[in-house]
Amino acid sequence: MRIIIEAHLVDDREQTERVQLCAFERELTTDPIGMSLAEGKALLAAAQRYFVRGQCAGISCGHARCEVCDAKLSLKGWHQRKIRTAFGLVQVPSPRVRYCSCAGQPDGATFSPLSKVVPHGMTPELEYLQVKWAAHLSYADACSLLREVLPVEQAISVTGVKRRVRVVGQELELASERPSSNPQPQMPPVTAVAVDSGWLKHCCPPRRHNRNVNVVVGRACFQGGTTRLYSYVHNQVPSSSARLDQFLDSCGVGHDERVTVVSDGAGEFQKAVDGTARPLCRILDWFHIAMKFRSIELCALKFPRMLAPNGRLLRDEVQACKWLTWHGKAGAAVARLKEIHDVLDGKDELEYFNLYWSVRRTWGYLSLNDRYLVNYCRRHHRNLPISSAIAESAVNQVVSLRMAKKRQMRWSDQGAHLLAQVRVTDLNGELRPRAFAVPWRPPAKLNGWDDPFLRPYLQA
Protein backbone atom coordinates (compact mmCIF):
# COMPACT_ATOMS: atom_id res chain seq x y z
CA MET A 1 0.00 0.00 0.00
CA ARG A 2 1.22 3.48 -0.89
CA ILE A 3 -0.05 6.66 0.77
CA ILE A 4 0.50 10.02 -0.98
CA ILE A 5 -0.21 13.26 0.88
CA GLU A 6 -0.68 16.41 -1.22
CA ALA A 7 -1.29 20.08 -0.46
CA HIS A 8 -3.45 22.43 -2.53
CA LEU A 9 -2.99 26.21 -2.46
CA VAL A 10 -5.92 28.17 -3.89
CA ASP A 11 -5.36 31.91 -4.51
CA ASP A 12 -7.94 34.69 -4.78
CA ARG A 13 -8.50 33.95 -8.46
CA GLU A 14 -9.36 30.33 -7.68
CA GLN A 15 -6.11 29.20 -9.27
CA THR A 16 -4.85 26.05 -7.61
CA GLU A 17 -1.31 24.85 -7.11
CA ARG A 18 -0.82 21.22 -6.10
CA VAL A 19 2.33 19.81 -4.57
CA GLN A 20 3.18 16.41 -3.14
CA LEU A 21 4.36 16.63 0.47
CA CYS A 22 5.34 13.03 1.11
CA ALA A 23 4.64 9.43 0.15
CA PHE A 24 4.68 6.36 2.41
CA GLU A 25 5.04 2.72 1.50
CA ARG A 26 3.25 0.29 3.84
CA GLU A 27 2.97 -3.47 4.20
CA LEU A 28 -0.34 -4.27 5.87
CA THR A 29 0.89 -7.46 7.51
CA THR A 30 4.31 -6.46 8.86
CA ASP A 31 4.56 -2.69 9.39
CA PRO A 32 3.24 -0.98 12.54
CA ILE A 33 -0.02 0.91 12.52
CA GLY A 34 0.14 4.56 11.60
CA MET A 35 3.08 6.80 10.83
CA SER A 36 6.35 6.50 12.66
CA LEU A 37 7.81 9.43 14.55
CA ALA A 38 10.33 10.10 11.80
CA GLU A 39 7.60 10.06 9.11
CA GLY A 40 5.40 12.37 11.17
CA LYS A 41 8.26 14.83 11.62
CA ALA A 42 9.02 14.71 7.90
CA LEU A 43 5.35 15.40 7.07
CA LEU A 44 5.20 18.35 9.46
CA ALA A 45 8.40 19.79 8.06
CA ALA A 46 7.17 19.48 4.46
CA ALA A 47 3.79 21.05 5.25
CA GLN A 48 5.48 23.87 7.16
CA ARG A 49 7.83 24.64 4.28
CA TYR A 50 4.93 24.87 1.86
CA PHE A 51 2.83 26.94 4.25
CA VAL A 52 5.61 29.41 5.06
CA ARG A 53 6.52 29.79 1.38
CA GLY A 54 2.93 30.72 0.54
CA GLN A 55 2.73 33.26 3.35
CA CYS A 56 6.07 34.84 2.45
CA ALA A 57 4.97 35.04 -1.17
CA GLY A 58 1.88 37.01 -0.14
CA ILE A 59 3.94 39.34 2.06
CA SER A 60 6.39 39.98 -0.77
CA CYS A 61 3.58 40.76 -3.21
CA GLY A 62 1.98 43.06 -0.66
CA HIS A 63 5.05 45.30 -0.67
CA ALA A 64 5.33 45.60 -4.43
CA ARG A 65 3.68 49.04 -4.33
CA CYS A 66 3.96 52.10 -2.10
CA GLU A 67 1.27 52.27 0.57
CA VAL A 68 1.02 56.09 0.19
CA CYS A 69 1.05 56.84 -3.55
CA ASP A 70 0.55 53.30 -4.87
CA ALA A 71 3.64 53.67 -7.05
CA LYS A 72 5.42 50.49 -8.07
CA LEU A 73 8.54 49.87 -5.99
CA SER A 74 11.76 48.67 -7.55
CA LEU A 75 13.65 45.62 -6.43
CA LYS A 76 17.29 45.82 -5.45
CA GLY A 77 17.63 42.09 -5.36
CA TRP A 78 16.82 38.83 -3.65
CA HIS A 79 18.52 36.99 -0.83
CA GLN A 80 17.75 33.85 1.11
CA ARG A 81 16.26 34.25 4.59
CA LYS A 82 16.12 31.48 7.20
CA ILE A 83 13.00 31.33 9.37
CA ARG A 84 13.11 29.04 12.38
CA THR A 85 9.70 27.58 13.17
CA ALA A 86 8.32 24.99 15.57
CA PHE A 87 8.21 22.51 12.68
CA GLY A 88 11.61 23.04 11.15
CA LEU A 89 13.94 25.50 9.51
CA VAL A 90 12.48 27.08 6.36
CA GLN A 91 14.62 28.95 3.85
CA VAL A 92 12.66 31.34 1.63
CA PRO A 93 13.54 34.00 -0.94
CA SER A 94 13.41 37.48 0.60
CA PRO A 95 13.19 40.61 -1.57
CA ARG A 96 15.13 43.78 -0.88
CA VAL A 97 12.84 46.66 -1.93
CA ARG A 98 13.78 50.32 -2.45
CA TYR A 99 11.75 52.93 -0.63
CA CYS A 100 9.48 55.21 -2.62
CA SER A 101 10.52 58.85 -3.05
CA CYS A 102 7.52 59.94 -0.94
CA ALA A 103 8.71 57.95 2.07
CA GLY A 104 11.27 60.57 3.10
CA GLN A 105 14.14 58.06 3.15
CA PRO A 106 17.64 58.71 1.72
CA ASP A 107 18.18 57.86 -1.93
CA GLY A 108 18.83 54.17 -2.41
CA ALA A 109 17.52 53.17 1.04
CA THR A 110 15.99 49.71 1.07
CA PHE A 111 14.02 47.48 3.39
CA SER A 112 13.16 43.79 3.70
CA PRO A 113 9.43 43.04 4.13
CA LEU A 114 10.06 39.67 5.79
CA SER A 115 12.31 41.23 8.45
CA LYS A 116 9.29 43.29 9.56
CA VAL A 117 7.19 40.16 10.05
CA VAL A 118 9.82 37.93 11.67
CA PRO A 119 12.36 40.36 13.15
CA HIS A 120 14.29 37.72 15.09
CA GLY A 121 14.18 35.04 12.40
CA MET A 122 12.13 32.84 14.74
CA THR A 123 8.41 32.32 15.25
CA PRO A 124 6.92 33.05 18.70
CA GLU A 125 5.82 29.43 19.14
CA LEU A 126 9.36 28.04 18.79
CA GLU A 127 10.72 30.67 21.15
CA TYR A 128 7.98 29.84 23.66
CA LEU A 129 8.75 26.11 23.53
CA GLN A 130 12.47 26.67 24.01
CA VAL A 131 11.99 29.02 26.95
CA LYS A 132 9.32 26.90 28.63
CA TRP A 133 11.32 23.67 28.55
CA ALA A 134 14.57 25.42 29.48
CA ALA A 135 12.80 26.76 32.58
CA HIS A 136 12.32 23.16 33.80
CA LEU A 137 15.29 21.28 32.30
CA SER A 138 18.90 22.07 31.59
CA TYR A 139 19.59 23.81 28.31
CA ALA A 140 21.03 20.67 26.74
CA ASP A 141 18.12 18.48 27.91
CA ALA A 142 15.54 20.99 26.65
CA CYS A 143 17.24 21.13 23.25
CA SER A 144 17.44 17.32 23.08
CA LEU A 145 13.77 16.91 23.99
CA LEU A 146 12.56 19.36 21.35
CA ARG A 147 14.70 17.66 18.71
CA GLU A 148 13.23 14.31 19.70
CA VAL A 149 9.57 15.27 19.17
CA LEU A 150 9.73 18.05 16.56
CA PRO A 151 11.59 18.42 13.24
CA VAL A 152 13.83 21.21 14.59
CA GLU A 153 17.25 19.57 14.26
CA GLN A 154 18.65 22.53 12.29
CA ALA A 155 16.49 25.21 13.92
CA ILE A 156 17.77 25.17 17.51
CA SER A 157 20.98 24.73 19.45
CA VAL A 158 22.00 24.69 23.10
CA THR A 159 23.58 28.12 22.81
CA GLY A 160 20.49 29.44 21.04
CA VAL A 161 18.19 28.11 23.77
CA LYS A 162 20.31 29.79 26.43
CA ARG A 163 20.28 33.05 24.48
CA ARG A 164 16.49 32.93 24.06
CA VAL A 165 16.02 32.40 27.80
CA ARG A 166 18.12 35.45 28.54
CA VAL A 167 16.29 37.61 26.00
CA VAL A 168 12.86 36.63 27.28
CA GLY A 169 14.01 36.96 30.90
CA GLN A 170 15.25 40.48 30.19
CA GLU A 171 11.90 41.40 28.63
CA LEU A 172 10.04 40.01 31.66
CA GLU A 173 12.36 41.99 33.92
CA LEU A 174 11.66 45.22 32.05
CA ALA A 175 7.91 44.50 32.01
CA SER A 176 7.89 44.03 35.80
CA GLU A 177 9.62 47.40 36.32
CA ARG A 178 7.24 49.34 34.09
CA PRO A 179 3.84 50.31 35.53
CA SER A 180 1.17 48.44 33.63
CA SER A 181 -1.52 50.51 31.89
CA ASN A 182 -3.86 47.52 31.70
CA PRO A 183 -6.27 47.07 34.61
CA GLN A 184 -5.21 44.31 37.00
CA PRO A 185 -7.55 41.31 37.20
CA GLN A 186 -9.64 41.00 40.33
CA MET A 187 -7.73 38.81 42.77
CA PRO A 188 -8.65 37.56 46.26
CA PRO A 189 -7.06 39.29 49.26
CA VAL A 190 -3.49 38.38 50.21
CA THR A 191 -3.29 36.68 53.61
CA ALA A 192 0.52 36.69 53.89
CA VAL A 193 3.76 36.91 51.94
CA ALA A 194 6.56 34.49 52.86
CA VAL A 195 10.15 35.14 51.79
CA ASP A 196 13.23 32.93 51.85
CA SER A 197 16.49 32.61 49.92
CA GLY A 198 18.63 29.95 48.29
CA TRP A 199 22.30 29.76 47.36
CA LEU A 200 23.96 28.68 44.12
CA LYS A 201 27.57 28.12 43.16
CA HIS A 202 29.10 31.06 41.36
CA CYS A 203 30.66 30.50 37.94
CA CYS A 204 33.84 32.46 38.69
CA PRO A 205 36.89 30.40 39.70
CA PRO A 206 37.05 29.87 43.48
CA ARG A 207 40.50 31.42 43.67
CA ARG A 208 39.18 34.72 42.38
CA HIS A 209 35.71 34.95 43.90
CA ASN A 210 34.91 32.55 46.69
CA ARG A 211 31.24 33.45 46.88
CA ASN A 212 27.79 32.18 45.93
CA VAL A 213 24.74 33.56 44.17
CA ASN A 214 21.95 34.53 46.56
CA VAL A 215 18.50 34.00 45.02
CA VAL A 216 15.56 35.47 46.97
CA VAL A 217 12.17 33.80 46.46
CA GLY A 218 8.80 34.90 47.80
CA ARG A 219 5.32 33.46 47.70
CA ALA A 220 2.04 35.32 48.23
CA CYS A 221 -0.86 33.35 49.70
CA PHE A 222 -4.38 34.40 48.73
CA GLN A 223 -7.65 33.61 50.39
CA GLY A 224 -8.90 30.35 48.92
CA GLY A 225 -5.50 28.65 48.78
CA THR A 226 -4.03 30.04 45.55
CA THR A 227 -0.44 31.31 45.54
CA ARG A 228 1.86 33.40 43.37
CA LEU A 229 5.67 33.50 43.19
CA TYR A 230 8.35 36.09 42.62
CA SER A 231 12.13 35.83 42.63
CA TYR A 232 15.30 37.84 42.07
CA VAL A 233 19.03 37.88 42.71
CA HIS A 234 19.59 40.52 45.35
CA ASN A 235 22.43 42.38 43.58
CA GLN A 236 20.58 42.44 40.23
CA VAL A 237 17.75 44.71 41.39
CA PRO A 238 18.15 48.35 42.44
CA SER A 239 16.03 47.94 45.58
CA SER A 240 14.56 44.96 47.43
CA SER A 241 11.70 47.09 48.74
CA ALA A 242 10.85 48.32 45.23
CA ARG A 243 10.81 44.72 44.03
CA LEU A 244 8.42 43.77 46.82
CA ASP A 245 6.19 46.75 45.98
CA GLN A 246 6.06 45.73 42.31
CA PHE A 247 5.11 42.20 43.26
CA LEU A 248 2.34 43.37 45.61
CA ASP A 249 1.04 45.74 42.92
CA SER A 250 0.83 42.84 40.47
CA CYS A 251 -1.11 40.87 43.11
CA GLY A 252 -3.71 43.64 43.33
CA VAL A 253 -2.69 44.84 46.82
CA GLY A 254 -3.52 48.50 47.49
CA HIS A 255 -0.91 50.90 48.82
CA ASP A 256 -2.88 51.37 52.05
CA GLU A 257 -3.62 47.65 52.54
CA ARG A 258 -1.81 45.93 55.39
CA VAL A 259 0.15 42.81 54.44
CA THR A 260 1.98 40.35 56.72
CA VAL A 261 5.47 39.26 55.65
CA VAL A 262 6.79 36.00 57.17
CA SER A 263 10.56 35.48 57.03
CA ASP A 264 13.53 34.45 59.10
CA GLY A 265 16.08 36.83 60.58
CA ALA A 266 18.01 37.48 57.35
CA GLY A 267 19.08 41.08 56.79
CA GLU A 268 17.92 41.50 53.19
CA PHE A 269 14.29 40.96 54.20
CA GLN A 270 14.60 43.67 56.85
CA LYS A 271 15.75 46.12 54.18
CA ALA A 272 12.80 45.17 51.95
CA VAL A 273 10.27 45.76 54.72
CA ASP A 274 11.82 48.94 56.12
CA GLY A 275 12.35 50.53 52.69
CA THR A 276 8.72 50.42 51.57
CA ALA A 277 6.00 52.95 52.36
CA ARG A 278 3.36 50.23 52.61
CA PRO A 279 1.96 49.28 56.02
CA LEU A 280 3.76 45.93 56.08
CA CYS A 281 3.93 43.81 59.20
CA ARG A 282 6.88 41.47 59.43
CA ILE A 283 6.75 38.44 61.74
CA LEU A 284 9.47 35.96 62.55
CA ASP A 285 9.13 32.49 61.14
CA TRP A 286 8.02 29.97 63.78
CA PHE A 287 9.87 27.09 62.13
CA HIS A 288 13.27 28.66 62.76
CA ILE A 289 12.28 29.48 66.34
CA ALA A 290 11.24 25.88 66.99
CA MET A 291 14.53 24.61 65.52
CA LYS A 292 16.48 26.85 67.90
CA PHE A 293 14.67 25.40 70.90
CA ARG A 294 15.09 21.90 69.47
CA SER A 295 18.87 22.27 69.49
CA ILE A 296 18.75 23.18 73.22
CA GLU A 297 16.55 20.18 73.97
CA LEU A 298 18.94 17.80 72.21
CA CYS A 299 21.93 19.19 74.10
CA ALA A 300 20.01 19.03 77.42
CA LEU A 301 19.49 15.28 77.02
CA LYS A 302 23.06 14.79 78.31
CA PHE A 303 22.05 16.45 81.61
CA PRO A 304 18.69 14.89 82.59
CA ARG A 305 18.89 16.09 86.21
CA MET A 306 20.30 19.55 85.62
CA LEU A 307 18.24 22.33 87.21
CA ALA A 308 17.42 25.78 85.88
CA PRO A 309 17.93 28.90 88.06
CA ASN A 310 14.27 28.76 89.22
CA GLY A 311 14.65 25.16 90.48
CA ARG A 312 12.89 23.36 87.62
CA LEU A 313 14.47 20.72 85.46
CA LEU A 314 16.35 22.31 82.56
CA ARG A 315 14.43 20.42 79.89
CA ASP A 316 11.10 21.49 81.43
CA GLU A 317 12.28 25.10 81.62
CA VAL A 318 13.25 25.07 77.94
CA GLN A 319 9.83 23.65 77.03
CA ALA A 320 8.19 26.40 79.09
CA CYS A 321 10.20 29.10 77.28
CA LYS A 322 9.18 27.61 73.95
CA TRP A 323 5.46 27.67 74.76
CA LEU A 324 5.72 31.17 76.23
CA THR A 325 7.04 32.29 72.83
CA TRP A 326 4.24 30.34 71.12
CA HIS A 327 1.58 32.19 73.13
CA GLY A 328 3.06 35.64 72.46
CA LYS A 329 4.95 36.09 75.75
CA ALA A 330 8.38 36.30 74.20
CA GLY A 331 9.64 38.85 76.73
CA ALA A 332 9.30 36.39 79.61
CA ALA A 333 10.88 33.62 77.51
CA VAL A 334 13.89 35.79 76.65
CA ALA A 335 14.40 36.75 80.32
CA ARG A 336 14.33 33.12 81.47
CA LEU A 337 16.72 32.06 78.70
CA LYS A 338 19.04 34.88 79.79
CA GLU A 339 19.12 33.44 83.30
CA ILE A 340 20.03 29.98 81.97
CA HIS A 341 22.72 31.57 79.79
CA ASP A 342 24.28 33.40 82.74
CA VAL A 343 24.42 30.18 84.78
CA LEU A 344 26.08 28.24 81.95
CA ASP A 345 28.47 31.12 81.32
CA GLY A 346 30.02 30.52 84.70
CA LYS A 347 30.76 26.84 84.02
CA ASP A 348 34.20 26.12 82.60
CA GLU A 349 33.67 22.42 81.98
CA LEU A 350 33.98 21.39 78.34
CA GLU A 351 30.90 19.15 78.56
CA TYR A 352 28.65 22.23 78.82
CA PHE A 353 30.08 23.87 75.70
CA ASN A 354 27.41 22.74 73.20
CA LEU A 355 24.56 23.46 75.60
CA TYR A 356 25.96 26.90 76.34
CA TRP A 357 26.20 27.90 72.70
CA SER A 358 22.73 26.52 71.85
CA VAL A 359 21.20 28.62 74.63
CA ARG A 360 23.26 31.64 73.59
CA ARG A 361 22.22 31.40 69.93
CA THR A 362 18.52 31.01 70.82
CA TRP A 363 18.57 33.84 73.34
CA GLY A 364 20.42 36.13 70.93
CA TYR A 365 18.11 35.23 68.05
CA LEU A 366 14.93 36.02 70.02
CA SER A 367 16.29 39.18 71.64
CA LEU A 368 17.53 40.51 68.30
CA ASN A 369 14.15 39.90 66.60
CA ASP A 370 11.86 40.54 69.57
CA ARG A 371 9.82 43.17 67.68
CA TYR A 372 8.85 40.52 65.10
CA LEU A 373 7.50 37.98 67.62
CA VAL A 374 3.70 37.65 67.73
CA ASN A 375 1.08 35.37 69.24
CA TYR A 376 1.63 32.36 67.01
CA CYS A 377 -1.10 30.36 68.76
CA ARG A 378 -3.75 32.93 67.84
CA ARG A 379 -2.60 33.10 64.20
CA HIS A 380 -2.57 29.30 64.02
CA HIS A 381 -6.18 29.03 65.22
CA ARG A 382 -7.19 31.66 62.65
CA ASN A 383 -5.60 29.57 59.86
CA LEU A 384 -3.06 32.32 59.14
CA PRO A 385 0.51 31.48 58.04
CA ILE A 386 3.06 31.35 60.86
CA SER A 387 5.94 29.70 59.03
CA SER A 388 8.03 30.41 55.96
CA ALA A 389 7.67 26.78 54.90
CA ILE A 390 5.60 28.02 51.96
CA ALA A 391 8.59 30.12 50.94
CA GLU A 392 11.00 27.24 51.47
CA SER A 393 8.91 25.12 49.13
CA ALA A 394 9.01 28.03 46.68
CA VAL A 395 12.82 28.04 46.90
CA ASN A 396 12.72 24.32 46.17
CA GLN A 397 10.50 24.91 43.13
CA VAL A 398 12.31 27.91 41.68
CA VAL A 399 15.94 27.34 42.64
CA SER A 400 16.72 23.83 43.84
CA LEU A 401 14.90 21.64 41.32
CA ARG A 402 16.21 23.55 38.29
CA MET A 403 19.55 25.03 39.33
CA ALA A 404 21.05 23.13 42.24
CA LYS A 405 19.78 19.66 43.15
CA LYS A 406 21.63 16.83 41.42
CA ARG A 407 23.13 19.38 38.99
CA GLN A 408 26.77 20.40 39.31
CA MET A 409 26.08 23.76 37.74
CA ARG A 410 27.64 27.17 38.32
CA TRP A 411 25.82 30.41 37.65
CA SER A 412 26.48 34.06 37.11
CA ASP A 413 24.34 36.60 38.93
CA GLN A 414 22.70 37.78 35.72
CA GLY A 415 22.12 34.30 34.31
CA ALA A 416 20.47 33.04 37.49
CA HIS A 417 18.36 36.19 37.77
CA LEU A 418 17.01 36.04 34.22
CA LEU A 419 16.29 32.30 34.37
CA ALA A 420 14.47 32.85 37.68
CA GLN A 421 12.20 35.40 35.99
CA VAL A 422 11.29 32.90 33.26
CA ARG A 423 10.77 30.02 35.69
CA VAL A 424 8.63 32.06 38.08
CA THR A 425 6.47 33.32 35.21
CA ASP A 426 5.93 29.76 34.00
CA LEU A 427 5.15 28.44 37.49
CA ASN A 428 2.59 31.23 37.89
CA GLY A 429 0.94 30.13 34.62
CA GLU A 430 1.67 33.48 32.96
CA LEU A 431 4.23 32.48 30.32
CA ARG A 432 2.83 33.03 26.83
CA PRO A 433 4.30 33.30 23.32
CA ARG A 434 5.31 36.91 23.08
CA ALA A 435 3.72 39.06 20.40
CA PHE A 436 6.18 40.35 17.83
CA ALA A 437 5.96 43.80 16.34
CA VAL A 438 3.11 44.46 13.92
CA PRO A 439 4.29 44.10 10.30
CA TRP A 440 5.24 47.32 8.52
CA ARG A 441 2.43 46.63 6.08
CA PRO A 442 -0.09 43.77 6.15
CA PRO A 443 0.21 41.19 3.36
CA ALA A 444 -1.83 41.95 0.24
CA LYS A 445 -3.87 39.55 -1.83
CA LEU A 446 -2.05 37.52 -4.43
CA ASN A 447 -2.56 38.81 -7.98
CA GLY A 448 -2.26 35.43 -9.62
CA TRP A 449 0.72 33.14 -9.94
CA ASP A 450 2.14 35.21 -12.81
CA ASP A 451 3.07 38.08 -10.45
CA PRO A 452 6.81 38.93 -10.88
CA PHE A 453 7.27 38.96 -7.10
CA LEU A 454 6.37 35.25 -7.05
CA ARG A 455 8.96 34.02 -9.54
CA PRO A 456 11.65 33.16 -6.97
CA TYR A 457 9.07 31.20 -4.96
CA LEU A 458 7.94 29.25 -8.04
CA GLN A 459 11.55 28.45 -8.92
CA ALA A 460 12.40 27.32 -5.36
Together in a domain, 269 and 333: no
User: Is 137 part of any domain?
Assistant: no
Together in a domain, 206 and 325: no
Together in a domain, 9 and 95: yes
Question: What's 403's domain CATH number?
Answer: 3.30.420.10
Together in a domain, 365 and 311: yes
pLDDT of residue 446: 46
**Per-residue burial over 338-375, b = 16 or more CB atoms within 10 Å of its CB, e = otherwise:** bebbebbeeeeeeebeebbebbbebbbbbeebeebbbb
Together in a domain, 269 and 412: yes
Could you list the pLDDT tens digit for every one of the 460 residues in the chain?
788 888 887 766 666 777 788 888 777 666 667 788 888 898 899 888 888 887 888 787 777 777 778 788 888 888 888 999 999 999 988 888 888 888 778 888 888 888 878 888 888 899 999 999 999 998 999 999 999 999 998 889 999 999 999 999 999 988 877 765 555 567 788 888 888 888 888 887 665 556 788 898 989 888 888 889 999 998 888 888 888 888 888 888 888 888 888 888 766 677 777 778 788 888 888 988 999 999 999 998 888 888 888 888 998 999 999 999 999 999 999 999 999 999 888 887 888 889 999 999 999 999 988 888 999 999 899 888 888 788 888 888 888 888 876 667 888 889 999 999 999 999 999 998 877 655 555 555 544 444 555 666 655 5
How many residues are given for the chain? 460
Q: What is the total count of domains within the chain?
A: 3
Together in a domain, 442 and 366: no
For residue 351, give its domain range: 287-372
Together in a domain, 203 and 100: no
Nearest to 424 by CA among 395, 457, 455, 446: 395
CA distances from 355 to 257, 267, 359, 420 (A): 44, 26, 6, 40
Nearest to 108 by CA among 135, 75, 153, 67: 75
User: Is 109 part of any domain?
Assistant: yes
Of 333, 348, 372, which residue sits at a domain end? 372
DSSP category for residue 72: B
pLDDT of residue 451: 56
Together in a domain, 396 and 270: yes
User: Is 170 part of any domain?
Assistant: no
What is d(CA 247, CA 228) in angstroms, rounded to the nearest whole number? 9
pTM comes to: 0.80
CA distances from 187 to 207, 249, 255, 262, 276 (A): 49, 11, 15, 21, 22
User: Is 148 part of any domain?
Assistant: no
pLDDT of residue 441: 55
User: Is 179 part of any domain?
Assistant: no
Together in a domain, 277 and 390: yes
Q: Which residues are CB-contacts of 62 (< 8 A; sequence separation ≥ 6)?
A: 113, 441, 442, 443, 444
User: Is 185 part of any domain?
Assistant: no
Count of C-beta atoms within a 10 Å radius of residue 23 = 10
pLDDT of residue 449: 42
User: Is 114 part of any domain?
Assistant: yes
Together in a domain, 109 and 206: no
User: Is 143 part of any domain?
Assistant: no
Together in a domain, 411 and 316: no
Together in a domain, 411 and 443: no
Of 372, 391, 409, which residue sits at a domain end? 372
What is d(CA 263, CA 277) in angstroms, rounded to the nearest whole number? 19
